[in-house]
Amino acid sequence: MKYIETISIPVDEIDDTNRLRPLSQSWVDAIAESIAKIGQKEPIEVIRQKKGKPYKLIAGGHRLAGCRKAGVDARAEVKELETDAPGLEAELHEIDENLIRNELNPLDRAVFIGRRQKIYETMYPASKRGGDQGNQYTGGKKRQNEIISFSQNTANAIDLGERTIQRATRIYQGLSNKIRARLAGTHLADREGELYNLTRFAPDDQVKILDLCLKDVDPLPSVKAAGDVINGHTPKKQSAADADFEKLYETWKRCASKKGRTRFLGSLKEMGVIPSFNEEQL
């Protein structure tokens, strides 16, 4: 995507419909207050369009909404698309902008990465060739090769490790639209490990597990505990140490960027908790 210029644009001249990510009103309010006090710090990104409004938003939905609420024009970088698939290129740019900012919970990140893979495979169909299909739950050579190829491409485009991308891809592929919709806004949406464990179960069992984990009274504490119940096993009571471990592990998983993990391990090294670490494995 080619940079053209940075200009000020009236907000009513920018089309921000059909966005992938819904706006958080509290975030919009905070940005509007900041813009009113100190101005717009970061520009939005737009492209020119021939039909409808003069500009189409491709990055910065919350910033644009903040400008609109503050009653000011938006400072925008005007970009030019460079491929023969402008719609896909613009959507890919929007996805990458959200992923780079690393403000998504694990479920939303999986949805964005899953959509990115579909766009990637449409734009580069050769990435889907070769191998056997496998099945929906265990995968197969072809599916694994596709995920690896895609994760390498995505890791080069954004600041996420390949393993994080592979796990997010597995979550997206292993959970149906209905299951993902049911998970949205729940505590499980913020726990990558739980989402990943849920993909290990067949669709009918996933529904039963969510029934047990999301019920109003005495919900089960984890996907594993619910899986044990539907398989006829008595769930074991989680110890305090296990609960602490899960919290620490989920915190580590939420720190999805390689830079964030490197910084965290670097602090542990400085404190003498660990002697060293291999940054290439993050």
Say which residue, 98 or 102, is predicted with more confidence.
Answer: 98
Report pLDDT digits (tens) over 143-160.
556 666 677 777 777 777
Burial track 188-226 (b if 16+ CB lie within 10 A, e otherwise): bbbbbbbbbbbbebeeeebeebbebbeeeeebbbbbbbb
- C-alpha span between 114 and 17 (Å, rounded): 21
Query: pLDDT at residue 9 above 70?
Result: yes
Average pLDDT over residues 70-87: 86
Say which residue, 85 or 170, is predicted with more confidence.
Answer: 170
- C-alpha span between 61 and 83 (Å, rounded): 23
The residue among 252, 213, 220 whose CA lies nearest residue 234 is 220
Instruction: Give the global pTM.
Output: 0.61
Q: pLDDT band at residue 270, thresholds of 50, 70 and 90?
A: confident
The two three-digit tokens of residue 54, written as one number: 């003069």
Listed range (17-26, 56-65, 100-109, 242-251) with the worst mean pLDDT: 242-251
